[in-house]
Amino acid sequence: MLTYNELTRGGTMDRDSLYDAARQALSREGHEDGGPGFRLDCVDAVTRWVVAVAVEKAAATTLLDADIQGASTVEDLVDLADVQTQAADRRAGA
């Protein structure tokens, strides 16, 4: 799996790679329709966390538990990872 540094192009995260990580995680959990609009509020807690960890690993970031719980869709998780990595870049002076 690619890390955030490998996913960036000129400071912009490759969101498609994060969606792919989420899609692969959902596929392993038996959900073949895991696109950006996939509803996380309609799956069990374990599946939600499997997807969240996949997105975290792909983005090389850590999401807050409360934010993961509040995410309704895969896109919400990717948005959270994007915000986290942008904040880390600002702190690092990137």
pTM comes to 0.82
Sorted by where each starts, the structural domains of the chain and their CATH numbers stand as 4-92 (1.10.1200)
Give the chain as a DSSP string.
Answer: ---HHHHEETTEE-HHHHHHHHHHHHHHTT-S--STT-BGGGS-HHHHHHHHHHHHHHHT----HHHHHH--BHHHHHHHHHHHHHHHHHHHT-
pLDDT value of residue 94: 56
What is the chain's pLDDT, residue by residue, as a tens digit (94 residues)? 444 444 444 444 689 999 999 999 999 999 998 999 999 999 999 999 999 999 999 999 999 999 999 999 999 999 999 999 888 888 888 5
